[in-house]
């Protein structure tokens, strides 16, 4: 099993190195890059196909970091909005009947309703240029590559391969802001099914975790009392919605952002970070930012404290985007006693103000 | 000028102090010795004692009601104002203390927290993750 996975990894890695070096230069090196409308339509069709088709696949994920590549192989089943991703018998997660779930060690945890931001071509093409490149033959058959280029930096961010036979995206190469490969996700095996996948048998019986959707008014109130609710984040991420998470998670808030290509989750909790609780985390610093991360982890995640809050960012975006986001949000040491008093006085006056 | 020396006369206040038992043992002894030898001082002492006794036996005089009411009202007003003033000061101090305490509590950072990063990752991938391909997820390999 290990040998076969490594063998596939070797086959999968070879084209990445070949395609990523040298750094891809867009054809239009000056002026505003334009999207190829055919490429956008093809990408949108592939996303729709993945949502509606019923298939089983094996997904190989290779993450690159300074310690070298790390490899994990997953089983994926998808049909009509339902999704199941599993790693052998270790764990499984997915969506069933528009509700998220997670199983591990025989226990089921319900995650509440699914609120996926979805694929929005307009948002995608406002930040990125999408274009087609000549077709290639992959292990799974001939595919039509689509490149997604960040306009401002004029750097390749994604290369997506749409399988000519199934219409699915079967290979996804992700690059950082310097054009270096950071992740490869490839279906090494895809099998279409006529029947929809089975739901989770005990989906209604597991432990329930029910995030509460927050309205714009609720988010505004939370912002007034000290939570951070930016409508926009660096790297082109815009607020899509927010949720109040259960008390069991420390009374945290979850904000969802999207830049049209990647989704970014920002979790906030009141209190300073207990860094000893972060198993396997690596401290990273730049400027006056001190954070913790897990190099090579998928999706990327970063944790830090600032202004009395602890932030956790989770995203499928490359790490450089998380660095931009972290730099923009509060970070630093605990405020002094006068700072605490001033902040507390402001909150008290705000609560007591009769016109609020 | 009278003195405590033998043969000298004492001031009236010294004799009064003797009657009031306000002299210490040494001074009282000196005055008593002199009184035993000085008839004029003894006579003056007896005169002081008689006057005090007469004063103590004078009948008590009731103050006029108007005067009493005025004094009582003034006293009550003064007392009320003082009490109000004290209460206001106490209330102001208590209020300031309460506000400071509330500000201190409200300004707290909530201690330390341990983010459930694993759960956040699962939550992100399952509930809001999406895009052209399933979001790659790697649990339990990198200390997540």
At residue A59, the pLDDT reads 94
**Half-sphere exposure (Cβ direction) of A200: Cα atoms closer than 13 Å:** 28
Best mutation target among B97, B131, B135, B139 (most A Cβ atoms within 10 Å) is B131
> Of B60 and A36, which is predicted with more confidence?
A36
**What does the alpha-carbon distance between residue A65 and residue A346 come to, in Å, rounded to a whole number?**
44
The alpha carbon of residue B76 and the mean position of all alpha carbons in its chain are separated, in whole angstroms, by 20
Within 10 angstroms of residue B21's Cβ, the number of other Cβ atoms is 7
* Low-confidence winner among A26-35, A80-89, A110-119, B20-29 (lowest mean pLDDT): A26-35
Residues B49-59: tens digit of each pLDDT: 887 777 777 66
At residue B68, the pLDDT reads 56
> Of B18 and A60, which is predicted with more confidence?
A60
Which B residues 123-142 touch A at CB under 8 Å? 123-142
B99 touches chain A (CB under 8 A): yes
**What does the alpha-carbon distance between residue A126 and residue A129 come to, in Å, rounded to a whole number?**
8
Is the CB of B115 less than 8 angstroms away from the CB of A61?
no
A282: distance to nearest CA of chain B, Å?
Answer: 10
Dihedral over Cα of A13, A18, A19, A23: its sign: positive
Instruction: Answer yes or no: are the C-beta atoms of A263 and B124 closer than 8 Å.
Output: yes
> What is the residue-wise DSSP string for A268-288?
EEESEE-GGG-TT-EEEEETT
Is the CB of A348 less than 8 angstroms away from the CB of B103?
yes
Is the CB of B126 less than 8 angstroms away from the CB of A101?
yes
Written as six digits, the tokens of A194 are: 């006529």
B97 touches chain A (CB under 8 A): no
The DSSP bridge partners found for residue A273 are B113
Average pLDDT score over residue span A74-93: 88
* Low-confidence winner among A60-64, A77-81, A133-137 (lowest mean pLDDT): A77-81
> Of A164 and A114, which is predicted with more confidence?
A164
**What does the alpha-carbon distance between residue B22 and residue B69 come to, in Å, rounded to a whole number?**
38
> Of A311 and B38, which is predicted with more confidence?
A311
> Of A349 and A25, which is predicted with more confidence?
A349
At residue A14, the pLDDT reads 45
Q: What is the pTM for the complete model shown?
A: 0.69
B71 touches chain A (CB under 8 A): no
Written as six digits, the tokens of A97 are: 């009947």
**What does the alpha-carbon distance between residue A325 and residue B62 come to, in Å, rounded to a whole number?**
88
At residue A24, the pLDDT reads 44
Written as six digits, the tokens of B40 are: 């004029």
ipTM confidence: 0.82
Instruction: Answer yes or no: are the C-beta atoms of A266 and A313 closer than 8 Å.
Output: yes
Average pLDDT score over residue span A68-84: 86
Average pLDDT score over residue span A57-68: 87
B101 touches chain A (CB under 8 A): no
Residues A315-350: tens digit of each pLDDT: 999 989 999 999 999 987 655 676 677 777 777 777
B98: distance to nearest CA of chain A, Å?
Answer: 11
At residue B3, the pLDDT reads 44
Average pLDDT score over residue span B114-128: 86
Instruction: Answer yes or no: are the C-beta atoms of A240 and A258 closer than 8 Å.
Output: yes
Give the number of residues written for chain A: 356
Is the pLDDT at B98 greater than 50? The verdict is yes
- Confidence label for A304 from pLDDT (cuts 50, 70 and 90): very high
Is the pLDDT at A151 greater than 50? The verdict is yes
Residues in B closer than 8 angstroms to A93, CB to CB, are: 122, 125-126, 137
Please name the residue that has the structure tokens 């008593």. B32
Is the pLDDT at B69 greater than 60? The verdict is yes
Is the CB of B130 less than 8 angstroms away from the CB of A183?
no
Closest-approach residue (CA) in chain B for A296 = B142
**What does the alpha-carbon distance between residue B41 and residue B31 come to, in Å, rounded to a whole number?**
10
Is the CB of A94 less than 8 angstroms away from the CB of B126?
yes
Computed over every residue of chain A, the mean pLDDT equals: 82
Residues in B closer than 8 angstroms to A295, CB to CB, are: 142
A25: distance to nearest CA of chain B, Å?
Answer: 23
> Of A174 and B49, which is predicted with more confidence?
A174
Instruction: Answer yes or no: are the C-beta atoms of A294 and B133 closer than 8 Å.
Output: no
**What does the alpha-carbon distance between residue A166 and residue A51 come to, in Å, rounded to a whole number?**
13
At residue A38, the pLDDT reads 92
Residues in A closer than 8 angstroms to B143, CB to CB, are: 278-281, 294
Please name the residue that has the structure tokens 């997660």. A93
> Could you give the angle at which helices B12-19 and B25-37 cross, rounded to 10 degrees?
120
**B6 three-state secondary structure:** coil
How many beta-carbon pairs under 8 angstroms link A with B?
217
Is the pLDDT at A37 greater than 80? The verdict is yes
A319 by Cβ neighbours in 10 Å (0-12 / 13-18 / 19+) ranks as: buried
> Of B23 and A132, which is predicted with more confidence?
A132
By Cβ distance, the residue of A63, A117, A272 closest to B112 is A272
Helix/strand/coil percentages in chain B, nearest 5: 65, 0, 35
């Amino acid at each position: 099993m290990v040998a076969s996975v490594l063998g596939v990894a070797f086959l999968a890695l070879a084209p990445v190195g070949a395609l990523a070096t040298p750094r891809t230069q867009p054809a239009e090196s000056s002026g505003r890059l334009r999207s190829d409308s055919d490429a956008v339509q093809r990408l949108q069709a592939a996303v729709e196909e993945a949502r509606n088709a019923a298939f089983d696949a094996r997904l190989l994920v290779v993450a690159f970091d300074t310690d070298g590549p790390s490899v994990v192989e997953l089983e994926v089943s998808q049909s009509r909005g339902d999704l199941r991703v599993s790693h052998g018998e270790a764990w499984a997660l997915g969506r069933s009947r528009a509700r998220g779930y997670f199983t591990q060690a025989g226990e089921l945890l319900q995650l509440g309703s699914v609120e996926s931001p979805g694929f929005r071509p307009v948002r995608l093409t406002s930040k990125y240029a999408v274009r087609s490149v000549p077709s290639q033959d992959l292990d799974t058959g001939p595919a039509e590559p689509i490149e997604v280029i960040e306009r401002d930096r004029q750097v390749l961010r994604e290369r997506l391969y749409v399988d000519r036979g199934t219409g699915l995206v079967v290979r996804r190469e992700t690059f950082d802001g310097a054009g270096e490969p950071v992740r490869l996700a490839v279906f090494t095996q895809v099998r279409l099914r006529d029947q929809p996948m089975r739901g989770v048998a005990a989906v209604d019986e597991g432990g329930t975790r029910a995030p509460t959707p927050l309205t714009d008014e609720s988010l505004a109130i939370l912002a007034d009392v000290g939570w951070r609710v930016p409508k926009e984040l660096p790297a082109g991420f815009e607020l899509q919605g927010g949720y109040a998470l259960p008390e069991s998670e420390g009374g945290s808030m979850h904000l969802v952002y999207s830049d049209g290509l990647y989704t970014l989750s920002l979790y906030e909790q009141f209190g300073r970070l207990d860094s000893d609780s972060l198993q396997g985390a690596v401290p990273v610093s730049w400027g006056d930012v001190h954070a913790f991360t897990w190099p090579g982890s998928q999706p990327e995640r970063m944790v830090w404290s600032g202004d009395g809050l602890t932030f956790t960012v989770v995203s499928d975006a490359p790490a450089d985007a998380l660095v931009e986001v972290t730099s923009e949000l509060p970070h630093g040491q605990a405020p002094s006693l006068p700072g605490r008093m001033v902040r507390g006085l402001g909150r008290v006056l705000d609560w007591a103000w009769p016109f609020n | 000028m009278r003195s405590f020396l033998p043969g000298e006369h004492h001031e009236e206040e010294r004799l009064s102090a003797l009657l009031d038992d306000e002299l210490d043992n040494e001074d009282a002894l000196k005055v008593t010795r002199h009184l035993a030898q000085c008839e004029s001082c003894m006579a003056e002492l007896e005169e002081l004692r008689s006057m005090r006794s007469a004063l103590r036996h004078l009948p008590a005089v009731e103050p006029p009601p108007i005067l009493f009411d005025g004094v009582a009202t003034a006293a009550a007003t003064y007392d009320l104002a003082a009490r109000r003033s004290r209460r206001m000061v106490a209330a102001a101090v208590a209020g300031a203390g309460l506000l400071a305490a509330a500000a201190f509590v409200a300004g707290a950072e909530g201690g330390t927290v341990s983010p459930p990063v694993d759960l956040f990752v699962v939550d992100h991938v399952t509930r809001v993750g999406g895009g052209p391909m399933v979001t790659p997820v790697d649990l339990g390999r990198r200390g997540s």
